[in-house]
Structure 1
Amino acid sequence: MENGIGNLPGLKNTWSALRKKKPEVIWWSLIWFPYAIPKQAFLLWLAVRNCLTTGDRLLVWGYKGDTQCGFCRHGLESRDHLFFRCSFSSRIWKNCMQRCNIENPDIDWLNVMDTGYRQWKTKRMWGALCRLVLQSGVYHLWRARNEIKHNGCPKTEEQVLRSIYWDVRSRFSGNGRFAKTMESVNLCLNWNISFSVLV
């Protein structure tokens, strides 16, 4: 309903008048894609914009408590440290990326983002899987970080990995329609995803 009814503006015109048009960001495809899990997409959006309440940001706000990384206890907690320079999170990231057939994944946040928006924006199963692993990895590492900070209950690497694996398998089970290639068959085997997602 672009033109509206009578003298009333249409929906498209109203929407255009209300919102401020901004340039398209290059990382949007890492966050918003068909297999994204909404709450995980939102958390990744916060992480990309560096809006998570990490130790370095808390210090700027005058926080006097512990701002060290709760996983490795080495250095100031920051987005770039948590994702994926910390020894704990880098082992999880590397494990997940190896299941995506990436043998030596980068652990630098900006490089991961650069690789992601340049290489993972594809209709192949591999691209969707890499994006979902990024979202799920950031989400579950952030939850594990909060368990330490707020409840004093650290999770093991195995517990975090299990949560990521569960999300990936659940999201792809019965939802995918990917070409049956050697690559996609291998990915299904690596992640224990049903072959029913392949056509």
Structure 2
Amino acid sequence: MWRIAHKKESLWVKWVHSVYLKHQDWWTYQPKKSAGWAWKKLCKIRDDLRLGFEEKGWLQQSYKISETYKWLQGDLPKVEWAAWIWNRYTSPKHAFISWLAIHNRLKTRAKLEKFGVCEDSSCLLCGTAIESRDHLLFYCTYNRKCMTKIARLLGITEAHYNIEATWIHWRRKLTDHVQRKVGLAALTSVVYHLWFARIHVFWHKAVVHPNTLFKGICTETKDRVIQLISCKWTRKHCKLLFRISSTRPN
């Protein structure tokens, strides 16, 4: 649309002006009934974005699609957990599962029972409580063992066992910038592996030992972080990574 309004030198823009517009004003032009579907769609999008072009002055400056995207989104509140989940030290698969968890979108047995998919809503890992998101990821005795081991490894005393409170607690305790990112990446790894352990029980009818899960959390966190080591790292940061990679479950 910006190219059409400015009559930019391109074969397609020249074709549009010669076939459709024919010296008419782009912003007031109305397509004929015989015009193609794609051209009508483009004109409709023009009408939707016209206010943005007028308010932001996009015609008087270099046009950026990103500016249009932000304008269409509007003023959205910034969520605090974005710094935890979309941390560059976090593996994408860990971030995705954690994102589902923070939105309470994981298909736990409590949800599946409401959908009529299963009759039993008890936790697959401990069998002592209803399998909700908070129970599965933080209150379950099986999961607390893994969470406590990782927290101890990072020098944190975990006392919340709640997905919203835990990451804030870890962020405050890990004051160093790099250590905070590594710690939050480890937390997303915990969430992912706990969900993986639950899936493993469902399909294989066997519970993964907490020590095995702990080892997998450390290994995948190390494998991701080691790719992002930079010259800004200090000896303290390297020692943390070495501690994660060399730790053996008790």
**What is the aligned counterpart of 1:108 among 162, 166, 179?**
162
**What is the aligned counterpart of 2:145 among 65, 74, 91?**
91
Whether 1:187 and 2:240 are equivalent positions in the alignment is: yes
* Matched AA of 1:78: S
**What is the aligned counterpart of 1:131 among 177, 184, 206?**
184
What is the TM-score normalised by the length of structure 2?
Answer: 0.67
What fraction of aligned residue pairs are identical, expressed as a percent? 24
* Matched AA of 1:49: H
Q: CA deviation at 1:116?
A: 4.5
Q: CA deviation at 1:114?
A: 3.3
Distance 1:70 1:51 in 2: 18
Residues 27 and 106 of structure 1: CA distance in aligned 2, closer, same or farther (over 3 Å): same
- Say what the alpha-carbon RMSD is for the aligned residues: 2.5
SS at match of 1:153: coil
SS at match of 1:173: helix
Partner of 2:210: 157
Confirm or deny: 8 A CA contact 2:156 2:170 kept in the other structure: no
Whether 1:38 and 2:92 are equivalent positions in the alignment is: yes
Distance 1:27 1:98 in 2: 22
Q: Which structure has more helix as a fraction of its residues?
A: 2
**Ranges in structure 2 where 5+ consecutive residues have no aligned partner:** 7-57
Q: CA deviation at 1:187?
A: 1.8
Distance 2:179 2:67 in 1: 38
**Ranges in structure 1 where 5+ consecutive residues have no aligned partner:** 194-199
What is the CA deviation profile of residues 12-45 of structure 1, one whole-angstrom value per residue up to 9, with x for unaligned ones? 3432354354211111101112112111101101
* Deviating more after overlay: 172-181 vs 77-86: 172-181
Distance 2:66 2:164 in 1: 36
Residues 133 and 105 of structure 1: CA distance in aligned 2, closer, same or farther (over 3 Å): farther
Distance 1:50 1:119 in 2: 25
Partner of 2:124: 70
Confirm or deny: 8 A CA contact 2:219 2:245 kept in the other structure: no
Partner of 2:114: 60
Residues 114 and 103 of structure 1: CA distance in aligned 2, closer, same or farther (over 3 Å): closer
Residues 48 and 6 of structure 1: CA distance in aligned 2, closer, same or farther (over 3 Å): same
What is the TM-score normalised by the length of structure 1?
Answer: 0.82
Q: CA deviation at 1:152?
A: 1.6
Residues 91 and 15 of structure 1: CA distance in aligned 2, closer, same or farther (over 3 Å): same
